[in-house]
Amino acid sequence: MILLTFEGIDGSGKSTQAQLLNERLQEEGHETLLVREPGGTELSERVRSLLLEPALNVHPMAELLLFSAARTQLVAERIRPALETGRIVICDRFYDSTTAYQGAGRDVADPEWLQSFHRRVTEGLVPDRTYLVEVDPETARARREEDGDEGDRMEAEDQHFYDRVAASYAALAEEHPDRILRLDGHRSIEALHGTIWSDVEALLGENRGTPFADAGSSDL
């Protein structure tokens, strides 16, 4: 019925918000599916371990293809079937992560090429709303350190990499203002959840009775 995705740099607080939203929707009696990327299926979780292994040498194009392979499997095996049975699907990261991290962070492909590539990878599935949680890279790093996060292969990247990723997210939000909602991630967890919840309530009102409202649209 509805696909909601969360995006942001590592440590921005998006998983916290994805989980809170999932709990709130369930409390209100909705059937949901919460998945993370890369992951969510056996193949995708195995690809995830390869991608995040600290010492593995991964060519940037191989990285792009592996993240995308994990996504294709997740969409086919879990997301589409859940949407078809009327669930609200929440995805912690989706193809905007690939545009930001591989496209801009690694400079492996330009946004136009990626746009049509993502369409093939997801068979045209487009989120109804994407919540972009924005924090400065220093805050994000401090949050990860506070968590005792030892750091995976992606998190070993320097500040410049994260600056490029954050700038790419901001550019995506400018390009897709109807889909991507920018949120100031420096606000409190509760305040952010409040803003997201109001938006979701409005979306649920609009989408009542119109499943797949945006699937296949060209607003990638």
Q: Which positions touch ligand ADP (CB under 6 A)? A: 8, 10-16, 143, 147, 185, 188-189, 192
- Give the Cβ contact number of residue 46 at 10 Å: 14
Binding at 190: pick from ligand TYD, ligand ADP, none (beta carbon under 5-8 Å per type): none
The site partner of 119 among ligand ADP, ligand TYD, none (C-beta below 5 to 8 Å per kind) is none
How far is Cα 125 from Cα 72, in angstroms, rounded to an integer? Answer: 10
Task: Give the nearest distance from C-beta 134 to ligand TYD in angstroms.
Answer: 13
| CB 81 to ligand TYD: min, Å | 20
Burial of 153 (0-12, 13-18, 19+ CB in 10 A): middle
CB of 28 to ligand TYD, least distance (A): 25
- Which of ligand ADP, ligand TYD, none does residue 72 bind (CB under 5 to 8 Å by kind)? none
Residue 127 per-residue DSSP state: -
Per partner kind, with CB cut-offs from 5 to 8 A, the member of ligand ADP, ligand TYD, none near residue 192 is: ligand ADP
182 phi and psi angles, rounded to 5 deg = -85, 135
Residue 58 has phi, psi (to 5 degrees) of: -125, 120
- By the criterion CB under 6 A, which residues form the site for ligand TYD? 10, 15, 36-38, 52, 67, 93, 97-98, 101-102, 152, 154-155
Q: How far is the CB of 207 from ligand TYD (least distance, A)?
A: 25
Residues in CB range of 68: below 8 A, 6 or more apart: 95, 98, 117, 118, 121
- N-terminal to C-terminal alpha carbon distance within the chain: 18
Q: Give the span between the Cα atoms of 83 and 175, in whole angstroms.
A: 26
User: Which of the choices ligand ADP, ligand TYD, none does residue 115 contact, using the CB cut-off of 5 to 8 A by kind?
Assistant: none
Closest distance of CB 179 from ligand ADP, Å: 19
> For residues 10 and 128, which CB has a smaller minimum distance to ligand TYD in the complex?
10
CA-nearest of 124, 107, 127 to 116 is 124
Q: How far is the CB of 144 from ligand ADP (least distance, A)?
A: 7
3-state secondary structure (DSSP) of residue 206 = helix
For residue 33, the cross-strand partners are 89
50 binds, among ligand ADP, ligand TYD, none (CB under 5 to 8 A by kind): none
